[in-house]
Structures are given as C-alpha cells and as structure tokens.
Structure 1
Amino acid sequence: MARPPQGQMHPGRQLAVLGLLFVILYSLVFFGPGASGSFTDRLHPKLGLDLVGGTQATYVASLMSNGQPPPRSSMEEARKIIDQRVNALGVAEAEVVIEGNTNIVVSVAGEAEDQLKNVGQAAQMRFRKVLKATGDNAAVAVAPPSAAPSASASAAPKPSGSVAPKANTSPGPKVTASPSGGQGGGELAPSPSPSPSASASAPAPKPSASAAPAPVPVNEKKKQQRAAIEKKVGPAAWTAAEKLTAPVDLQTDPAAGLPFKAFSTLTGEEVNALTPEMQFNVPTISCEQLDKRPNGAIDAVDEQVVACQSGAKMFLDVAKVVGTDIDSATPQLDQQQGQWVVSLDFTSEGQEKWTALTREAFQPAADDPCLAAAQALSTGATHCLVAVVLDKEVISAPEIQGVLTGQSQITGQFDAASAKELADQITYGALPVTFEAAATKTVSATLGKKQLEAGLLAAAIGMGLVAIYAFFYYRLLGSVIFLSLLLSGLLTFGALVVLGRTTGFTLTLAGIAGFIVSLGVAADSFVIYFERLKDEIHEGRSARAAVPRAWVRARRTIISANTITIMAAVVLYIVSIGAVKGFAFALGLSTILDLVVVFLFRHPIMTMFANTKAFMSPRVSGLGRAMKQQQQRVSTDVKEA
C-alpha cells in the first residue's frame, strides 16, 4: 500500500480528529455545564429578545438635592455603564434605553432576573480604616433576658466601650497583595471572624486628630428628617442617644438598651438621617436596618460611616482610597488555593494612596483607636483593619500585615460568576447616578416564532441551492460540498448551544443572517479548490496526482480569503453594537468552523476519493470535461509526434 508523502497526515487520522471534535462538542451539549431537562431541551440554543421575548427591569434615578432629575449627560453615562455591565461578554445583545428623565430600562432575552438585579448598583468602592467595632446586639437590647419593668427613657444608660460581636462561623473574604518590596511581606490577613469572647471593657480610646475630619454640614432634608425622628422616638430617647460617646454596655446591664427601643422601629431611610455616631452607639439600631439604607448612603468619601459585616457594626474612617484609584480588576482562578479571586491593579496615584493607607494601618499612632477595634474583632490582632466597602456592603475587612506596594487581590466565597460580576462592576466604573430598582416584568418577543422560522427557512433554502448547484456542476464532488456544509452546520449549531450556556451568547435574527452569509464564504472555498483541481488536470496530470497539488495551491488562497472575512467580522464586532455585533460574531464563528471542516474533512475525503474508480470516471466525478480535454490534448500530441 502506498504511503502518503512525508509530512502529510494520513486522511484517516484527520477524519478521526474531526470525529473526536464532534464527540467533545456534543458531550458538552448534552452533559456539559448548564445542560438540563430532556435531550430535546438540551439541543435548544439561547434565543434573543427579538425571537423569544425576555425580562425587562426598570431603574429609577434618585432626584438631586435640589429636587431636579439628574442631568441628561449623567443619565447617558449611566446607561453606557449599565449596558457594559449587562453585555460584559459582548454577545448578550441586551437593550438598554433611557425612558423619560429618570428611568433606565434594561431588557434581556429569557428569564434573567438574577442577571439584572445588580446591574443598577452604584458599585462605589471605598477602602476605609476600621476605627471602632461593636456587636449587632439589637435583638438583646430590645428584649433583654431579664428586663427591668421600670426602665424608662429617663434612665441614663451606662456607656462603655464593650464590644461583643456575634461569632462568624463561615470564613470571610480577605485581601492579598503580591509582594513587591513592601515592608512586612505582601499579604493581608484573612478578614476578621468576630469572636464571642472578644471584649474590650476599657473605655474607647480617644480618636486621633487624623481620624476626626471636619464636620460635614447637614442638608435641610436631613434636618427635617431628624426632627421627625426625634418626635417619633421621643425627646428623652433622642437626647440620651445624642449624649452617647460609645456603645451601651449590655453585658453589665442587659436592660440598658430599653430606653432606645423606639429606634428599632426606624426605617432604613430614617436610620440614614442619623449621625454615624448614633447609628453606631445606639444598641437597638440593627445591621438589618443599616443594610436597608438607600443606595449611596455611605458613598461620601470625606465622611466617617457605619457599616456591617458578619454580625458586627463597624465605625469606618473617611475613604482614603476609592474605586477610581483602581486601574483594572480581573477575575482569576488562584491555582494554589483553588478559588476565584478578583485581582486589582491600581493607578500610579492610586498605588501611592493604597501604600500610604496600608502603612497607616500597619504602623498606627499610639492614640489611634483602630488597634482596639482590630483586637475586639480578631483576638491577637497587632495591626489595624482596612475595610473594603462596595456600596453599602463590607466585602472584606482584613488585618494589615505589611505595607503593600504591589498588586492586590480580593478573595472570598467567590465562584466564577460572582468574581466576574464584581470585577466588571469595578472595571466599568461607578454609576454617576443612584438608582432604585423598580418592577421587573416579562416582555413578549418583538419578532416572534414566525420570523425565526422564516430565518431558518432562508438558511435551509440557501444551503439547498448551494447543494443543487454543486451536484449539477460537480456531480460526485457535490457530495463533498453537501457533507462539508452539513458538518459545518452541525459544528455551528453545537457551538451555539454551548456558547449560549457558558458565555451568554444569544441567537438573534441578525445572527441567523450572519450564518446565511457564511454559506457564500464556504461555497467560495469549494469553487477555489475544485477549479484549481481542474487546472491541474488541464496541465496534463492524472486526477489522482492532481488532488494533492491542487490542495497545496488552493490552500493558501482559501486561508487568505477566510482570514479576510474573519478580520472584517472582528473589526465589525469591535466597532458595532447590538444586533450588528451579533451578526459579526455569527459570521466570524461560522467562517472559523468552515476552515476546520476544510482541513479535517474536505481535504482528507478528497484524498480518499482520488483512490477510487468512481473518482477516475469522467461521468461520475464531475471532472469529465477537464479529463476529456486532457485526453484530447494527449491524443493530439501523440498524432503530431
């Protein structure tokens, strides 16, 4: 048996590679991530909003301090950021539009409430030193084990610095930093797990000068709110709350929180009107109330704020590093720990601020209260904590173990999706406007089933016409064209299903148009190869010898033509938005898969056909005219000789 030329893969091996590719692809389709339901259900690609409808969420912008809606420029900037967040993968083709003066409406194909619930968050990241900490003892303060019946608001509670936060049984997130010459190494300790025995009975240390910013003027709205709250809780309770300089000591007197019981009835918006000192010191104000404060409640960079983590209330310093100091955020899989992290790269100015903040926490002044807070939250702590705050949530509060001068990481209970969500929120920036999520509803398809069927019918007609032409003009070679298109279609369909589950790719009518256009590109590569084959036969070579030579000469042209198409699709994808982006993605994907079929099926099958009698027959192979002309030329040459 004749061996193939050296350096040429055996046709059977190429076909085996193609078969293995199909096995892997359709194993992912039927058994891969996201595959569920019956086998028929697993074959459904993710369809776009124009074909199957989807979910629509409305976000209402908060009015400005003067009662006016946000400027149009701010709304447009917010729309772009939300659009980037929703389309973080670039292929979801969501619709994000401004409606009226204060609404932004987001529409996503299919059931996507989970995808939409966080896209309207402000994503304001702040790095704040933890100055004081106390437990969330609201439940005990409101209903003490042995409350004295005579307790009244006139009773003067005994303030102290006692701290008894609830124990955190689950490991919290932490922040690490790659060592790059920073003092004391490059890792921050895990976030504190408050211990039940952690208690600082000594009076709270006096705040240092650096921890006491200039008082911020109270706007008229908060003044009115505080007057209403004072009336609601009673003058005696309000006066007692204003006089508190530290959390109430419930360990010494469990009933000491009863005079402040009325504060437990305040709403999140009412709690937000209180001073940070009252939010922190009043024992009946719970973390649940603090978490229900409006969006943007603790975004002010130059104000001290109160936030919660793992059952502990934290009094936080002004923000000395903010989200705009971060150059980029990237989700990464930590190979050593086997968990997802969010890697942070700071800007040059941001890195200086971050280094200064970690130095301040690692080497606190003698009168800095942050060290007592760290010891209260984490037994044996020798350095201060820095809280990483996203909007109203403390996502990490690690003890600083060194002066950090390099890249940092936020780690915690992340999976791939949550790590990417956080990284996208940081990367695309904070919204310039604060939004409240309104109703989420289901919307019907804008085009519907008939248009989908029409698009698929157009694709089938296009493929059928190509096949008819191929069989008419190339005969046996037409079967190669038909099988190539069929295999390319199966690869494309499988890729659509897998990409829909893993990257959110949605098939729209524009995408179907891209696949139909790719049929022309695939047909061109056939014409190039087969016409090159005829040229080789015209030059006097046998059909069997012409096949490898025609492949070598046609291959370069096929690759060049497909590369140009792919480059055009890439450029169109980058510069376009919405449906045009989906068209470009579909065109590029189908062209790449066509190249795979060209190399792993079309060429090896032609090599195998060249060794068959049918291929050598002028009537069957489709090369009859070329062979007949070649035979006539040979006969003429023989006669002339």
Structure 2
Amino acid sequence: MAAPKKGRRSPGGQGRPGRVLAFILIAMVALVGGMFASGQTTPRLGIDLAGGTSFTLEAKNQPGQPNAITTTNMNTAAGIIERRVNGLGVTESEVQTQGKKHIIVNIPKGTNAKQAREQVGTTAQLAFRPVLVAAPAGKLPEPTPSASAGAGKDKDKGDKSKAPKDTDKAKDAEKDKKGKPSGTPTASAPGSSATPSGSHGQGRAVTEALKAPQAPKPPTPSPKPSGGPSNDLQKQFAALDCSTKEARSQAAKKASDQAKPGDDVVVCDKDGQEKLLLGPVAVEGRDVTDAKAALDTQRASGWQVQLKFNGSGAKKFADVTGKLAAKPEPQNRFAIVLDGQAVSAPRVNGPIPGGSAEISGNFDQSSADDLANILSYGALPLSFDIVTETTVSAALGGEQLRAGLIAGAIGLALVVIYLVVYYRGLALVALASLAVSAVLTYTIMVLLGKAIGFALNLPAVCGAIVAIGITADSFIVYFERVRDEIREGRSLRPAVERGWPRARRTILVSDFVSFLAAAVLFIVTVGKVQGFAFTLGLTTLLDVVVVFFFTKPLMTLLARRKFFASGHPWSGLDPKRLGAKPPLRASRRRPSAPVDPKEA
C-alpha cells in the first residue's frame, strides 16, 4: 500500500496553512477598519486613569415615611443606581454607601455627566392616569374649568369648552407643522390602537403588541365616575404656567410630593407644550415588568419604548383603555406620568389587551434609552439630593499607569531576549505571534469600549501584562514539542505535525485553567477587580486563536523553507545542537513497510 502524501492534512486541520493565515490577517484588517470606522482609536479609560465626576447623594425621608432610611433601603438604592449608571454604557462606575444616609457615585470621564446626574437620584414614580382636562401650557383666563370636567359633562360653557378648542387649534398647528395629520391607526382584531393627541409636542403612541394576555387578576377601581376635580384644583390648573422649565420643575415636584394615587393631580407636559388635569392612578408603575428601547418599524427614523405588564397590570391596562375609548376628547386620553410630569398623553381608540404596549412618537435613540433605562430598573426606595459634585483627577492613576507600563516593557524585553538567545530563528515566530495578539487585543478593547462601555483601568492593564507570559508560554510548549521530535531523529516537517497534537492538548488545558480562574474571579468580585478578570479572560481566549490560526500554520510554512528544514545553526532547530539521534530508518527485515506510518 502506498504511503499517504506528506503535508496534505495535519491533526490540527492545517492542510492549507496559507488559507488559515489569510483568514486571520483578513480578520485583523476588519477589526482595525472597524475601529477607525467607529471614530474611536484609543481604549476607553476608567476613572483611575482618565478622571471623571463624583456625586455625593444624601437620602431624605419621603412624606409619611419618617423611618425609611435604613441599611437595607440604602443598599437597595445603591444597587439600583449602579444598574442605572451602567445602563448608560458605563462599566467602570463605582457606587458605594458612606455612613447612614450618603451614597458616593464615581463616573469615569467620557460619560455624559449631566445625563448621569439626572438619573442617579430620580425616584422614577411611574403612573398611568386618565386625562380630565387638557389645555395649552400658559395660564387660562377666568372662569376656571368646572368640576364636571372629569365626568365628561359640559355644564360649564365657558372655559371648559375653550380647553378642547384650544387643544384642537394646537392640533391643527401641529398638523400644519408636520405637513400631515396625526391620524389614528386602523384597529386590528382582537384589539385596537392608541395615538397621541396632535397638541402634544412630544406625543407618543401606545399600540397593542398582539401578545397573549397573562392570567387576569381583579382590576383596581377605575377613575372617578362623577364629582370631578375640586374647585381649588381647577383654579390651580388655570393658574399653572408650564411654558418655562422652572415652572415645570416646581409643578413636577409638587405633584410628586403631595399627590396621592387616589387623588386628581395637575401636571405639565415634559416639553412644555400643554398642561393636564388628571384623574386617579389607574395603572401603577410597579405593574411594568420590562421596558426597552427599539427601532419603530412604522417610522422612517423613529424610536420607541416597548413596555410589558405583569398579569394584574395587563388586566387593569386593558380595562381602563376600554373605558377611555368610549369617552370624548380629551377624556379619551391616557397620560403616562413620570415623576410628576406627563411623558405622553395618547388618545385611546379601543382596549389594549395582551400585557404589552409601545410608547412611540418623537423619540430619538438617546431619549428612548433614558426612559427605558429608568423604567427597567424601577423606583428608588428613598429620595436623594445631590449635595456635592466634584471632578476627580487622574494624576495618581497616570503615575501608576506609567510605572505599570515600564514594568510591562521590561518584562517584554526580557521575554524577547530569552526567545532570541534560546530559540534563535524560532523567535521570529514567537514575536510575530505576540504582535498579532497585541493587535487583536487592542482593537477588541477599543471596539468593546464603544459597544458595551468597557473601560480600561489599572487592574485591566495588569491583566493584559500578565497575558504576555501566558501567550509566550504557549509558544514555548509548542516549540519544545517540535524540538523533542527532532531529538528523536525526525526531520522538521514531520516533527512540526507530530509535535502539534501533544502541544495542542497542553495549551488547551493550560488556557482552560486560566480562563476558568478569570471567570470565577469576574463572578465573585466587584468593581475594578472585574476589569482584571475580564482582560485576563479575553487575552486567554485570544491566545488560543493566535496559536491555532497563526502560530501553527506559520510553523507549517516555515518548515518548508530550507533555512529551517535543513537545521541551520541559527534556525533554533539544529539537530546537532539539540543532540538528535541518528535518522530513523526502515527495518532490514521489513524493507517495504515504514516503521512509523504516522510519520509518513
């Protein structure tokens, strides 16, 4: 039987090493191109390297809860704040309690400090309330809306009739502004849709997601069927001016602090387009189980926030939207109130069952992410005031980074000297592999900073330096296996292929142990230590990629070159220098059969 041809296939699947090398080089070019295309060519740095902003939050008791500041509530609040800040794409934030009533929040440079400041202390009191009266943002002339507004009656033919007319004028103006009316979508079985009023400059649409409703629970009482708002509340509504940011902030604070779920309330639209007099809470924010931002497929460049309700919330939401759909404008609108401000007040055309809804309209990605982030992570158990805001310097971290980089450079130089002295020509393979590993690590860290907010801190830099030793160790294992085969009397090409299976097993076991240690460290630790674990795990995975897709095929190609195949003294594979045995020869008794079929 004819012996199989040499070089056609190898245990590592490296029969065509040129293609494998081309693949890894194309991947490197793609990563580098993606890095430049993203507009960010340097890794994102943590607060210890780049500096940042530090907030000090002071807890305060909410009305009716004088003993709410407890260790449990403080720890819960710190966890929610950390998830909120990380939801902005910040993975190196530091959130920790200090004393009995303070929380320290450190955010690295490069994060929108204003955006983070707005989210860290927000209570996120979400509620869905029916609209009783809607009017433009400015003050209304006397007389004020009558108490019958909430019941859908028109006893008062004065200002109550003006509010809807003013709303209609605003709707017409909005239609003219957009060039088309804010029409109502066609309802589809088994439910229907809800669209925003045209007068609401930041109007969003709430539409049914056509998902199966969850197990229903007894609904909460619907809005007051009669009586309507008090005269005092109507006077407050008429006198309220929502045209300025300061007035809207004061109105929101008053509504959040004083209004109870069962009371009517006066609120401003978030963008100052209109003011609303709302009925009692029909669906509470705690009934929202999930919220996320997504592209609005029905709009060219719009975004939306997708909501999901629990079983009780789904039933209440379907019940109240069904009742509101039968009422005239503006009582057929359903306001979504967040921290005393109306985020949206869409018009309801029919019940929305299924436990899912969409808030859509004039969202961009940033505003949709902000709202979804706050709704996803829930309300804080306490209210907080930001008592200090300071800028953190990166001077100390910069000095430590320079010291670490110097130590890393010295270590790398020693590794290079060792490789050149001991392995000679093979050192070129090791250095080229280290260069490929460095390019992959750097570009992936930059892209991760853009994609998931990964920030490089001092422990992460330490993990990258440790990875140099892990990567060099893999090369040494393979080189020594090849040299062992040459000592046994084999030529270079069979030695490269025969040494690979055993070296591969050793490398995989070693890297698996390192990756497992990094994974455990990442899970059981918090803060900056996670940066070390993440970097160590990432570089360990890249070590496997480099050894399999670059080092091994490169060795296969070099084994065909005369300089290495002939065992040149400077190749690092000189049989005499290695003390090789005489070449293996076929036995005299069986001249036709090779001693080692695998070698062929």
Q: Secondary structure at the match of 2:107?
A: strand
Quick one: distance in 1 between partners of 2:224 and 2:128? 17
Residue 448 of structure 1 is matched in structure 2 by 397
Q: Deviations over 1:241-269 (max 9, x none)?
A: x984xxxxxxxxxxxxxxxxxxxxxxxxx
Specify the alignment match of 2:438 in structure 1. 489
* Amino acid aligned to 1:632: P
Report the equivalent of 2:304.
341
**Over residues 394-435 of structure 1, what are the superposed CA-to-partner deviations in whole Å (9 max), with x where a residue is unaligned?**
222222344321432223344444433332222221111122
Partner of 2:341: 393
Q: Secondary structure at the match of 2:279?
A: strand
The aligned counterpart of 2:9 is 5
Q: Distance in 2 between matches of 1:482 and 1:446?
A: 33
Query: How far apart in 2 are the matches of 1:407 and 1:297?
Result: 27
| Contact 1:321–1:354 (8 Å) recurs in 2 | yes
Q: 1:306 touches 1:313 (CA, 8 Å); kept in 2?
A: yes
Q: Is contact 2:222-2:320 (8 Å) kept?
A: no
CA shift at 1:610, angstroms?
0.9
Distance 1:326 1:110 in 2: 33
Structure 1 counterpart of 2:264: 304
Alpha-carbon distance between aligned partners in 1 of 2:58 and 2:346, rounded to the nearest angstrom: 35
Change (3 A) 1:294 1:418: closer
8 Å CA contact 2:90, 2:107 repeated in 1: no
Paired residue secondary structure (2:496): helix
Contact 2:252 2:339 in 1 (8 A): no
Structural mapping, 1:174-573, within 5 Å: 184-185=189-190, 188-194=193-199, 210-212=222-224, 244=231, 276-282=233-239, 288=245, 289-293=247-251, 295=253, 297-298=255-256, 300-309=260-269, 311-334=273-296, 337=299, 339-362=302-325, 364=326, 371-374=328-331, 384-400=332-348, 401-445=350-394, 447-538=396-487, 540-573=489-522
Distance 1:625 1:186 in 2: 82
Render the CA deviation track for 1:553-608: whole Å, top value 9, x for unaligned: 43344344334433432333233210111111111222222233223321221111
* Partner Cα distance (2:351, 2:226) in 1: 29
Partner of 1:114: 114
1:621 matched to 2:571: yes
Q: Which residue does 2:73 correspond to in 1? A: 74
Query: Which residue number in structure 2 is paired with residue 125 of structure 1?
Result: 126
Amino acid in the other structure paired with 1:211: P
**Cα drift, residue 454 of structure 1:** 0.9
Distance in 2 of aligned mates of 1:541 and 1:448: 53
CA distance in 1, matches of 2:252, 2:511: 54
Q: Deviation at 1:522?
A: 1.4
Q: Cα offset for 1:609?
A: 0.7
Aligned-residue offset at 1:462: 2.6
Match of 1:206 in 2: none
Amino acid at match of 1:323: G
> Cα distance 1:115–1:518, how it changes in 2: closer, same or farther (>3 A)?
farther
Q: Which amino acid aligns with 2:569?
A: R
Closer, same or farther: CA 61–11 of 1 in aligned 2, 3 Å: same
Distance 1:302 1:580, change over 3 A: farther
- TM-score scaled by length of structure 2: 0.77
Which of 13, 19, 25 is 2:31 aligned to? 25
Residue 386 of structure 1, CA deviation? 2.0
Cα offset, 1:373, TM superposition: 0.9
Query: Partners in 2 of 1:549 and 1:455 — Cα distance?
Result: 40
Kept in 2, the 8 Å contact 1:53–1:445? The answer is yes
Q: Secondary structure of 1:447's match?
A: helix
How has the CA–CA distance of structure 1 residues 491 and 4 changed in structure 2, closer, same or farther, with 3 Å as cutoff? same
State how 1:598-617 maps to structure 2 within 5 Å: 598-616=547-565, 617=567
Report SS of the residue matched to 2:55.
strand
- By how many angstroms is 1:451 displaced? 0.5
* Secondary structure at the counterpart of residue 278 of structure 2: strand
Match of 1:251 in 2: none
For residues 98 and 637 of structure 1, do their structure 2 counterparts lie closer, same or farther at Cα, with a shift above 3 Å needed? same
Given that residues 251 and 267 in structure 2 are in contact (C-alpha distance below 8 angstroms), is that contact kept between their aligned partners in structure 1?
A: no
Identical aligned pairs, as a percentage? 37
Q: Give ranges in structure 2 of 5+ residues lacking alignment.
A: 143-156, 202-220, 592-600
CA RMSD of aligned residues (A): 3.9
Task: Report how many residues are paired.
Answer: 529
Tell me the amino acid that sits aligned with residue 361 of structure 1: L
Shift in alpha-carbon separation, 1:132–1:494, aligned structure 2, 3 A: same
Per mean C-alpha deviation after superposition, the further-off stretch among 592-601 and 162-171 is 162-171
Q: Could you tell me which residue of structure 2 aligns to residue 597 of structure 1?
A: 546
Instruction: State the shift of 1:510 in Å.
Output: 0.7
Q: CA deviation at 1:625?
A: 5.2
Q: Is the contact made by 1:387 and 1:397 (CA closer than 8 Å) also made in structure 2?
A: yes
Q: Shift of the alpha carbon at 1:295? A: 4.4
Letter matched to residue 319 of structure 2:
A
Letter in 1 for 2:132: L
Tell me, yes or no, if the aligned pair for 2:490 and 2:583 is still in contact at 8 Å: no
CA distance, structure 1, for counterparts of residue 453 and residue 32 of structure 2 = 18
Instruction: Give CA-to-partner distance per residue, 1:245-299, whole Å, 9 cap, x none.
Output: xxxxxxxxxxxxxxxxxxxxxxxxxxxxxx6444323365657423333548337
Task: Give secondary structure in 2 for the equivalent of 1:98.
Answer: strand
Do 1:287 and 1:313's aligned partners in 2 also have CA atoms closer than 8 Å?
Answer: no
Counterpart secondary structure, 2:519: helix
> Which residue number in structure 2 is paired with residue 61 of structure 1?
59
Q: Which residue of 1 aligns with 2:91?
A: 92
Amino acid at match of 2:9: P
Report the CA distance between 1:611 and its aligned residue.
0.7
Choose the corresponding residue for 2:42, options 22, 44, 49.
44
Q: Which residue of 2 aligns with 1:205?
A: none
Shift of residue 187, structure 1, vs aligned partner: 5.5
Change (3 A) 1:449 1:213: farther
Residue type of the partner of 1:19?
Answer: L
Q: Secondary structure at the match of 1:133?
A: strand
Distance 1:336 1:3 in 2: 57
